[in-house]
């Protein structure tokens, strides 16, 4: 598998392939850039409807589709209590450490999904606070309530990981 200065990619207990810290990573470090094709909102909508889960909202006009071979960051897993976070800076997406990370820890970030069809994206992150589905942190409370009520949901919040 591919490697970077900070990350070694290998099979993960969470899902498929994942990335692990090769060495201790200080909080705030930009661990890897999330790269991909820059696409228009119209093209993005098409690809989202084709259930491409790797699309990030960059700005009002442009999205980024990370579903490309040359984007190893697409292999990083989601967690409900992640050690990294995505940030957009000057039209580029960086995955940075939100806390100190120990060598060997799996690198995770919150995918920032909205609630559309969230039940199709179960989470297996295994953290104590796991809400059971891959959704943005702002929806945790909502999903926990839904889980108890067993109801359906139709709230829609713009693009994936849209800030």
Q: Establish if 123 lies at the interface with Zn ion (CB under 5 A).
A: yes
Q: Establish if 14 lies at the interface with Zn ion (CB under 5 A).
A: no
Out of 45, 48, 130, 153, the only residue in the binding site for Zn ion (CB under 5 A) is: 130
Q: How many residues does the chain have?
A: 163
| Least CB distance to Zn ion at residue 80 (A) | 3
Instruction: Answer yes or no: are the C-beta atoms of 138 and 158 closer than 8 Å.
Output: no
Q: Establish if 125 lies at the interface with Zn ion (CB under 5 A).
A: yes
- Write the CB contacts of 16 (distance below 8 Å, at least 6 apart in sequence): 75, 77
Site string for Zn ion, 15-54 (x = CB under 5 A): ----------------------------------------
Distances (CA, A) of 143 to 56, 70, 116, 149: 22, 34, 12, 10
Nearer to Zn ion, 96 or 140 (CB): 140
Nearer to Zn ion, 80 or 97 (CB): 80
Q: Establish if 80 lies at the interface with Zn ion (CB under 5 A).
A: yes
Instruction: Answer yes or no: are the C-beta atoms of 129 and 80 closer than 8 Å.
Output: yes
C-alpha torsion sign, points 71, 13, 55, 67: positive
Name the residues that contact Zn ion, by CB under 5 A: 80, 123, 125, 130
């Amino acid at each position: 598998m591919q490697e970077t200065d900070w990350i070694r990619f290998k099979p993960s207990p969470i899902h498929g392939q994942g990335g692990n810290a090769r060495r201790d990573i200080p909080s705030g470090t930009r661990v890897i850039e999330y790269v991909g094709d820059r696409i228009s909102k119209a093209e993005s909508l098409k690809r989202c409807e084709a259930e491409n889960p790797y699309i990030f909202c960059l700005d009002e006009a442009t999205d980024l589709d990370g579903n490309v071979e040359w984007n190893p960051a697409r292999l990083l897993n989601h967690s409900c209590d992640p050690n990294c976070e995505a940030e957009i800076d000057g039209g580029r997406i960086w995955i940075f450490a939100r806390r100190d990370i120990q060598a060997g820890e799996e690198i995770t970030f919150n995918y920032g999904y909205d609630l559309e069809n969230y039940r199709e994206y179960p989470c297996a992150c295994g953290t104590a606070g796991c809400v059971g589905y891959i959704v943005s942190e702002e929806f945790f409370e909502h999903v926990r309530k839904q889980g108890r009520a067993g109801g359906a949901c139709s709230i829609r919040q713009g693009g994936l990981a849209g800030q």
